[in-house]
Amino acid sequence: MMAEINLADDTAMETKIKEASVGTLFENAAITKNSVFFNLLMILFKEPYRLFLQAVEALLPQLFVSSATGTWLERFATDYDLTRSLGAKARLWVRVTKTNASPLEITTDLLFSVFEANPRTYVPVQNYSFDAPTTNCDILVEALEIGQKYNLLNNQITQVSGGLNVLTVTNFAAAIAGTDVETDLELRTRILNKKWSQSLDYGIEAKYQAALLSVPEVEFALLDSVDPVTATLHFTLYGAGLNSNLAADALVALESVLMATDLAVVELASSETLNLTIQLFVPHPLALETKVLDQVNTYFAGMPRGQNFDESLLVYHLYRNVPELVGSPIHLTPETAVLPLGKYFSPTVTILP
């Protein structure tokens, strides 16, 4: 019965109970709201049903970026490396003009404020000491609270507590703008903008790589880096038969689809020697060593371009392809190696006796 109830209808439970009781001994009791049977059914079914509806109504909006709020929305933000801005306190430069040629001490417990009904108040960020000859003393103050309302126009601060012997006090420049805590709407907008931007970036990168791969000798094209200032994309090409002429052909193919705002640099991958030492703990005649060397070369030939070296992956490959090694340890050095951009590993292997 529960599976057939319309969740959007508040009277659905009551209607279903009446329908189910038709032709039974409970038919009259089911339609009599002051009967014990009716009230018992309401307690057993309608109240849990009502609580379930409330839970669904509260939870469903939180499962989507477009309607999530509060901490639920912040969880979506972490998927895009975003966090809610918690606001910032405004900082202003204030100039204090002394009344005489005596030294002046400014401490962090002084309050600088705007002359208004609910004064916006600021405190010095540090203690200041000014010697006697100094007339104009510039200090940096910070708002007591976060918020945009603490961003002032010049000359709005005119008061200072503590009975300082000064002629004038006024703010003359902004140092850091105050900001409010980011609203759900603002955070949601940033999430959606980044989501759309990433989707667009992935599509453009795939389009550029497809253009480079249109040259038959190019087996793989890796986007190594992007210069955000000049919008220059640096691609590295991999392929057994590649040369500078073919790289030039690939660049021409790329430029035919390149966005007007983008620039591209295409380079051939170069080898990076990896000195690899292998220690086997089984008898290893020359035939077995040759087999191991062949499998090491096979592994590196098929290693994904741009991937760092991890000895555990090579050990797994050797166990799978050299049955004689199964059941005995294999020690490799180095355990890891970072691959420089635009490179691929070319191993030099030493098998210890």
Distances (CA, A) of 320 to 83, 275, 288, 325: 44, 23, 14, 9
- Say which range, 19-23, 191-195, 269-273, 298-302, has the weakest mean pLDDT: 19-23
What would the two tokens of residue 345 be?
């590993």
Global pTM value: 0.45
Give the pLDDT confidence score for residue 13 in this predicted structure.
63
- Say which range, 83-97, 144-158, 287-301, 329-343, has the weakest mean pLDDT: 329-343
Q: 94 falls in which pLDDT band (50, 70, 90)?
A: very high
Q: What is the pLDDT of residues 134-149, one digit of tens each?
A: 788 999 999 999 999 9
What would the two tokens of residue 121 be?
């108040």
Average pLDDT of the chain, as a whole number: 85
Report the DSSP beta bridge partners of residue 103.
Answer: none
Q: Which CATH architecture has domain 200-268?
A: 2-Layer Sandwich (3.30)
119 by DSSP, 3-state: which?
A: coil
| Cα–Cα distance for residue pair 193/286, rounded to 1 Å | 60
Give the pLDDT confidence score for residue 333 in this predicted structure.
92
Give the pLDDT confidence score for residue 133 in this predicted structure.
79
Which one is predicted more confidently, 29 or 256? 256
Q: What is the pLDDT of residues 246-266, one digit of tens each?
A: 999 999 999 999 888 888 999
Which one is predicted more confidently, 51 or 20? 51
Mean pLDDT of 279-300: 91
Q: What is the pLDDT of residues 187-233, one digit of tens each?
A: 998 888 777 666 556 678 888 889 999 998 888 888 888 777 787 88
**Using the 8-state DSSP alphabet, how is residue 179 labeled?**
B
Q: 55 falls in which pLDDT band (50, 70, 90)?
A: confident
Which one is predicted more confidently, 45 or 294? 294
- The residues spanned by each domain of the chain are 11-63, 91-171, 200-268, 272-351
Residues ≥6 apart with Cβ < 8 Å to 299: 313, 314, 317, 318
Cβ count near 48 (within 10 Å): 12
Give the pLDDT confidence score for residue 1 in this predicted structure.
41
